[in-house]
Amino acid sequence: MNLIRKIFIVPATLSIVFSTANLKSKASSVIDLSINDMPENTVHSVASSLEQVTSITQFSDVYPTDWAYQALSNLIERYGCVAGYPNGTYRGNRAMTRFEAAALLNACLDRVTEVTDELKRLMKEFENELAILKGRVDGLEARVGELEATQFSTTTKLSGLATFVVGANNFSGTKSKADAANRDFGATAFNYDLQLSLETSFTGKDLLLTVLRTGNFDGNFAFGGSPNALSTLETAFQENGGNNLGIDKLFYQFPVANSLTFTLGARVGQEDMLAVWPSAYPSDAILDVTTLNGAPAAYNKNLGAGAGVSWSADNGFSVSANYVAAQVSSSDPNAGGIGTAFSEASGTIQIAYESESWNIAVIWSGVQSPSELAGGFGTPFAAENYFSGSNSYMNAWGIGGSWQPQDSGWIPSASAGYGYNSVYAKNAGDVTASQSWNLGLEWADVFLKGNNAGMAVGQPIFATSLKGDSTPADGNYVWEWWYQFQVTDNISVTPAFFYLSRPEGKNTDLDGNDNTFSQLGGLIKTTFNF
């Protein structure tokens, strides 16, 4: 390669070559000479005085503030054939002739040819590998196209939860009562619960939730609510008619403003419309009654047609209000309907505060037909002695909160709640007041990361005052202990025990013979998330 070709390398266009030859002068200042006007010895004298450079920093008269600095830097560092004067200068303010420009352009084109030939050689060398990659890309495009053509909905997500429960109960106490319970409810049972959730969004901020559910926790069996409702498991469910798949929930939730959310549903739960659930204790623990924040009458999880609104401020405060009626499918006002005396409705207002590590809430629920909505979360005596006429009504109050440690360890999260209920009573002996409380603890990463342990203790709803009578001896205690093995990200196995000290409350000793009765349950719960 002659010395003229060492002056510059291609900038892709002739204009860049001109810009590097004159850093501070305009293109109009270039001397216009024809090739016949340029003496040959002039070209050689210029070329012989130039030396090859490999970095723009070798030029003492080129600065980052020069308008063509970047173009010159690219030519030097990418192609490496720009030359300067022996004294380390570039002299970018000097003009160049058209003859010099033609020679420089020719050198640049030769360099491009060299690069192109190298690329062709590499493409030839890796021809087989490129063909394989092209085939894989084509295959992926075909699969993506097939998925797009066959997917159920671009806005719908399907998730599932399957639960297996194997366990048994043992009853002790007064021989006649214990023997009868063991005879009817003492066998080992295998039950299941399956939930399929379809979450659909039309705007990215709203939610249409459809939950399909089936199970075989019959209410006549121990884990389904017999011989007393306090032994009902949180996962217990059975559709009317047995092992049938039915719609458990169906509601639509959407934002009205930045901090305001509205919910409307044909089957919506009270808990679905609360901005804050004031508990760190798992909502899918063991017994149903231990998951209701110590106030199961106020947090009654009433399920039916309903509507609600919740407001959440940026500072952590929130207010929620909702109405749910369980019996609304009938148009007979003596059997149900919205706003009737037999709708089994509940109205709820909750004020809450939530921070990163703790929360607290105060709730009020007005409950129709307390025997139906709250009876399953307390003693049989309390449920049987609520006034059950058309005017039956309960004011249920609750306060609850939770705290979680910043780091997992031997300090557990703690959740506690208390409930007080005042009940309309018409007849002597009717329950006028009842109470409840609960404490739940959970330890994270016990023995192995991802494995959790927990326990809860409390008193479900028990009668504390009767109309025209003294305070009844209706107290009882509920305990549960469990340890969750996280087998995989989607499978967990949870051995658990629970103990009911006096599940029948005052009914334990109605005949005055100092009868006793208790229940101990053991089970293994396996959960599959998909």
Number of Cα atoms under 13 Å in the Cβ half of residue 58: 18
Instruction: Give the whole-angstrom CA distance, residue 224 versus residue 205.
Output: 37
Using the predicted structure, report yes or no on whether residue 3 has a pLDDT greater than 70. Answer: no
pLDDT at 79: 67
Percentage of the residues of the chain whose pLDDT score is greater than 90? 51
Which band of pLDDT confidence, cut at 50, 70 and 90, is reported for residue 175? confident
Q: Taking a C-beta distance cutoff of 8 angstroms, is the pair 300, 367 a contact?
A: yes
For 25, the token pair is: 């002068």
Which band of pLDDT confidence, cut at 50, 70 and 90, is reported for residue 80? low
Q: Taking a C-beta distance cutoff of 8 angstroms, is the pair 484, 465 a contact?
A: no
Alpha helices per DSSP H over 151-291: 175-185
**Mean pLDDT score, 91-95:** 79
Instruction: Give the whole-angstrom CA distance, residue 263 versus residue 259.
Output: 14
Mean pLDDT for the chain? 84
Instruction: Give the whole-angstrom CA distance, residue 521 versus residue 479.
Output: 10
Burial status of residue 242 (CB atoms within 10 A of its CB: 0-12, 13-18, 19 or more): exposed
Residue 178's alpha-carbon distances to 173, 382, 407, 476, 480, in angstroms, are: 6, 22, 45, 17, 21
Q: Of 357, 232, 248, 385, which is closest to residue 296 (Cα–Cα)?
A: 232
Using the predicted structure, report yes or no on whether residue 475 has a pLDDT greater than 50. Answer: yes
**Mean pLDDT score, 93-112:** 73
C-alpha 182, offset from chain centre = 42
At 402-428, the pLDDT tens digits run: 999 988 778 999 999 999 999 887 777
Query: Which range (209-223, 317-331, 344-358, 500-514) has the least confidence?
Result: 500-514
Beta bridge partners of 276: none
**Mean pLDDT score, 343-365:** 96
Q: Which amino acid is at 2?
A: N
Q: Taking a C-beta distance cutoff of 8 angstroms, is the pair 413, 441 a contact?
A: yes
Which band of pLDDT confidence, cut at 50, 70 and 90, is reported for residue 343? confident
pLDDT at 133: 87
**Mean pLDDT score, 59-82:** 77
Instruction: Give the whole-angstrom CA distance, residue 99 versus residue 103.
Output: 6
pLDDT at 267: 96
Using the predicted structure, report yes or no on whether residue 449 has a pLDDT greater than 70. Answer: yes
More confident residue, 355 or 153: 355
Percentage of the residues of the chain whose pLDDT score is greater than 70? 86
Using the predicted structure, report yes or no on whether residue 34 has a pLDDT greater than 60. Answer: no
Instruction: Give the whole-angstrom CA distance, residue 111 versus residue 10.
Output: 7
Q: Of 230, 167, 208, which is closest to residue 378 (Cα–Cα)?
A: 230
At 36-50, the pLDDT tens digits run: 444 444 444 444 455
C-alpha 313, offset from chain centre = 20
Query: Which range (74-83, 247-256, 264-273, 478-487) has the least confidence?
Result: 74-83
Residues in the chain, overall count: 530
Burial status of residue 467 (CB atoms within 10 A of its CB: 0-12, 13-18, 19 or more): middle
Instruction: Give the whole-angstrom CA distance, residue 477 versus residue 475.
Output: 7
At 201-258, the pLDDT tens digits run: 998 899 999 999 999 998 888 898 888 899 999 999 988 777 889 999 999 999 998 8
Instruction: Give the whole-angstrom CA distance, residue 459 versus residue 237.
Output: 23
Kindly state the DSSP code that residue 384 receives in the 8-state scheme: H
**Which distant-in-sequence residues (6+ apart) come within 8 Å of 20 by Cβ?**
8, 11, 68, 71, 72, 75, 82, 92
Instruction: Give the whole-angstrom CA distance, residue 530 versus residue 514.
Output: 51
φ, ψ of residue 189 in degrees (nearest 5)? -120, 155
Instruction: Give the whole-angstrom CA distance, residue 522 versus residue 167.
Output: 5
Could you check whether the bond before residue 227 is cis, i.e. omega within 30 degrees of 0?
yes
Instruction: Give the whole-angstrom CA distance, residue 310 versus residue 277.
Output: 12
pLDDT at 81: 65
pLDDT at 339: 79
Q: Taking a C-beta distance cutoff of 8 angstroms, is the pair 7, 104 a contact?
A: yes
φ, ψ of residue 339 in degrees (nearest 5)? 80, 10
Q: Taking a C-beta distance cutoff of 8 angstroms, is the pair 84, 40 a contact?
A: no
Query: Which range (55-69, 180-194, 504-518) has the least confidence?
Result: 55-69
Which band of pLDDT confidence, cut at 50, 70 and 90, is reported for residue 30? very low
For 15, the token pair is: 């204009």
Q: How many CB atoms lie within 10 A of CB 295?
A: 28
At 519-530, the pLDDT tens digits run: 999 999 999 999
pLDDT at 414: 98
More confident residue, 469 or 495: 495
Instruction: Give the whole-angstrom CA distance, residue 183 versus residue 181.
Output: 5
Query: Which range (23-27, 205-209, 308-312, 476-480) has the least confidence?
Result: 23-27
Fold for domain 172-185+253-524?
Answer: Porin (2.40.160)
Beta bridge partners of 359: 354, 402
Please state the domain extents for the chain: 3-127, 172-185+253-524
Q: How many CB atoms lie within 10 A of CB 341?
A: 17
pLDDT at 154: 65
To the nearest 5 percent, what fractions of the chain are helix, strand and coil? Answer: 25, 35, 40
Determine how β-strand 83-84 pairs with β-strand 345-354. Answer: unpaired
